[in-house]
Amino acid sequence: MFKQLFFDDQRLFVRENLDRSYGTPELVGTYRDAKIHTSYCWGWGIRGLDGKIHLLYQGYEAGYNHIITAAAISDDGIHFEPRNTASQAGIEKARLPNQLLPCTLDGSEIATVIEDPFCAESERYKILFSDNCLTHTQCLVTDYIYTSPDLIHWKKKPNSCWNPRGTEPLAGAFYNNVSQKFTIMSRPDWGQRRVGITETSDWQTYTPLEMCLQVDSLDPALAEIYGMSAIAHENIFIGFPHIYTGFPQIRRTKFVGGTMHVELSYSLNGRHWQRSLRTPFLSGKHPQLIERDGVPAKMLYVNSVLMQEDGSLLLYTTTSRHEHGYPSEKVVFGDTSVSIFRLRKDGFIQLNTVDDKTIGRIAMREIAWFGDELHVNLTCKSATCAVYAEVGDDKAPIAGMSHEECVPFTGDSSDWKPQWTSGVQLSSLKEKVIIIEIKMTDGSIYSISGDGIQLMNIEASRYRRFKSLPPKLGF
């Protein structure tokens, strides 16, 4: 099975009258805890075995000025209510009824939260913590893991230091089907605003930390990659590099002042990453945030992503009206929130018709085909599909599968399945090499998928002659 997202043109023969842009997440929910302000990267939505969506978050209680970990719960992942966790979890001296972990963990910040379906049920859910308690005496952060069977009862996992140098929040973790390990994306060290990478298969031993991403010559002056949450999305990996910029030009660590926006990156194997468009995918200038709050948010973090049954995605972000380093004791209710965005299925990046009166054309490179139907995610005034057996503009489509014989599509669909008036079906082309071409007017295309294996030219020649396929994932 392949799915083509349009981060680049590596798998395309033709891209005509189509330009590339990020998708547009829609603000669908806001959660604010009346007791805690969530001014940092501190809000994760995760699906529990009970079918509910659990929101785990951290923040400062007004007048207490210490970090508290709390929880809320939802049926739809959008509308949350505080979950009375403290009594269920048996937390002694809890300050709040929805408190998730003891106050003795003050100084411990959540770096990320992950579900691990391969381990014992007692450790299915994992919180990767960064403990700041030794920062003032030893200049060290201690990283460890808490585990839970149900997102309510948590315990510390022995010998679980996941970064020997110690790092800070805003990490990413996902299961990598290429390496068959869990991949963790985090800062290499305390205070290093770059992205490092390590892997583990048992949450006890970890590969040596390696560099993954840092700012480059296309970034704004003095910008930093603050951190990168990341997900596995079918046959690709997608990252959310957070770009910290806009702070004063002074000879000191960049902490007081500055804003945050989120861009996208992507990887075929979960280890080697590329930056995408150097424009905001999400920022505090999102029109719906301004409409809600009256002013732009200065800080926005994408903490976690949750796929819905229809393939759409919920993005759990934390937003703040204040710039980085604003004193926590000055924050008031309403300044911060967990802001929930919905993104259409495969809606990270899209190809849009440049001139709506001119046909946009996209032709994919060869595919070894094994399926029954093609699936196209698009919105347009009109679209048709043609299928070819041979490369070259002088070659005709397969008989019965031309653009003229395709039943035109109009509208918005995450799963258009092209059909032809001739009655010829894609199922008749199994184990053949095909080339797919889409023509469309006044619209956008998000993905093309089907049961096949994408090939480059020599790979296609080998398959035609010897039925041999590329041996590796991640290319």
* pLDDT tens per residue across span 86-121: 999 999 989 999 999 998 776 688 999 999 999 999
Contact 380, 441 (CB under 8 A): yes
Phi (first) and psi of residue 112, to 5 degrees: -170, 170
Residues in the chain: 475
Residue 377: pLDDT over 80: yes
The predicted pLDDT at position 182 comes to: 98
pLDDT tens digits, 34-53: 999 998 888 999 999 999 99
Instruction: Map tokens 């009166």 to a residue.
Output: 357
The predicted pLDDT at position 106 comes to: 63
- Rounded mean pLDDT, 81-89: 95
pLDDT tens digits, 278-306: 999 999 999 999 999 999 999 999 999 99
Contact 146, 154 (CB under 8 A): yes
The predicted pLDDT at position 390 comes to: 95
Residue 165: pLDDT over 80: no
As a whole number of angstroms, the distance between CA 16 and CA 18 comes to 5
As a whole number of angstroms, the distance between CA 171 and CA 141 comes to 14
Query: Residue 269 in 3-state DSSP?
Result: coil
As a whole number of angstroms, the distance between CA 418 and CA 430 comes to 16
With cut-offs at 50, 70 and 90, classify the pLDDT of residue 131: confident
pTM of the full predicted structure?
Answer: 0.96
- Rounded mean pLDDT, 240-267: 95
The predicted pLDDT at position 107 comes to: 67
**Considering just the CA atoms, what is the radius of gyration of the chain in Å?**
24
Structure tokens, 442: 């006044």
Residue 137: pLDDT over 90: no
As a whole number of angstroms, the distance between CA 225 and CA 216 comes to 10
The predicted pLDDT at position 163 comes to: 83
Residue 10: pLDDT over 90: yes
Phi (first) and psi of residue 118, to 5 degrees: -95, -10
Residue 62: pLDDT over 90: no
With cut-offs at 50, 70 and 90, classify the pLDDT of residue 134: low
Q: From the CB of residue 175, how many other CB atoms can be counted at a distance below 10 Å? A: 16
The predicted pLDDT at position 167 comes to: 83
Query: Residue 293 in 3-state DSSP?
Result: helix
- Rounded mean pLDDT, 9-35: 98
The predicted pLDDT at position 118 comes to: 96
383 to each of 148, 229, 414, 437, how far by Cα in Å? Answer: 49, 35, 14, 11
Residue 438: pLDDT over 90: yes
pLDDT tens digits, 401-412: 999 999 999 999
Max Cα distance, the chain (Å): 77
Residue 467: pLDDT over 70: yes
Q: How far is CA 426 from the centre of its chain?
A: 32
Phi (first) and psi of residue 373, to 5 degrees: -140, 150
The predicted pLDDT at position 48 comes to: 97
Sign of the Cα torsion 295, 301, 303, 304 reads: positive
Contact 354, 19 (CB under 8 A): yes
Report the b/e string of 119-153 with b at 16+ CB within 10 A.
Answer: eeeebbbbbbbbbbeebeeeebbbbbbbbbebbbe
| HSE-CB of 312 using CA atoms within 13 angstroms | 15
- Kindly provide the residue ranges of all beta strands, DSSP E only, lying in 293-417, ordered along the sequence: 299-307, 313-320, 336-343, 349-353, 360-364, 367-388, 409-416
Contact 62, 35 (CB under 8 A): yes
27/64: higher pLDDT: 27
- Rounded mean pLDDT, 51-76: 91
* Choice among 19-33, 126-140, 237-251 with the minimum mean pLDDT: 126-140
Q: How far is CA 283 from the centre of its chain?
A: 15
Tell me which DSSP letter residue 157 carries. P
Structure tokens, 111: 């770096």
Structural domains of the chain, ranges and CATH numbers in brackets: 2-21+350-466 (2.60.120), 26-343 (2.115.10.20)
Contact 129, 123 (CB under 8 A): no
With cut-offs at 50, 70 and 90, classify the pLDDT of residue 135: low
